[in-house]
Amino acid sequence: MQKSANVLVLDGDPLNRVVLENTLSEEHLVISCDNSDKAFERLTQTKFDLIIVDILMPDDEGLDFLLQLKADPMCYQIPVIVISASNSYQDEARGLTLGAVDYIVKPFSPNIVKARVKIHLAIKQKNDLLERLANIDGLTEVPNRRALDETLAQLWYQSRDQHVPLSILLVDIDYFKEFNDTCGFSAGDECLVKVAKALQSISQRVDGFVARYDGVRFVALVNKRGADQALALASAMHQAVDALEIQHPSSPICAHVTISVGVVHVSDDFSGDQTESLVLADEALVKAHQLQERVVLVNR
Ligand X SMILES: Nc1nc2c(ncn2[C@@H]2O[C@H](COP(=O)(O)OP(=O)(O)OP(=O)(O)O)[C@@H](O)[C@H]2O)c(=O)[nH]1
Residue ranges that bind ligand X, judged by CB under 6 A: 139, 172-177, 180, 185, 188-189, 192, 215-216, 289
Task: Give least dist CB 139 to ligand X, A.
Answer: 6
Question: Which residue of this chain has its Cβ atom nearest to ligand X in the complex?
Answer: 188
Grouping H, G, I as helix, E, B as strand and the rest as coil, residue 125 is helix
Q: Where are the extended beta strands (E) located within the chain?
A: 6-10, 29-33, 50-54, 80-84, 102-105, 166-173, 209-214, 217-223, 259-266, 295-299
Task: Give least dist CB 131 to ligand X, A.
Answer: 23
For ligand X, the closer CB: 139 or 254: 139
Task: Give least dist CB 267 to ligand X, A.
Answer: 28
For ligand X, the closer CB: 224 or 294: 294
For ligand X, the closer CB: 6 or 180: 180
Distance of CA 87 to the CA centre of its chain: 39
How many Å apart are CA 257 and CA 255, to the nearest integer? 7
Grouping H, G, I as helix, E, B as strand and the rest as coil, residue 253 is coil
Instruction: State whether the Cα torsion 240-245-247-250 is positive or negative.
Output: positive
For ligand X, the closer CB: 214 or 228: 214
Task: Give least dist CB 87 to ligand X, A.
Answer: 57
For ligand X, the closer CB: 132 or 177: 177
Task: Give least dist CB 138 to ligand X, A.
Answer: 9
How many Å apart are CA 23 and CA 102, to the nearest integer? 17
Residue 57 DSSP code: -
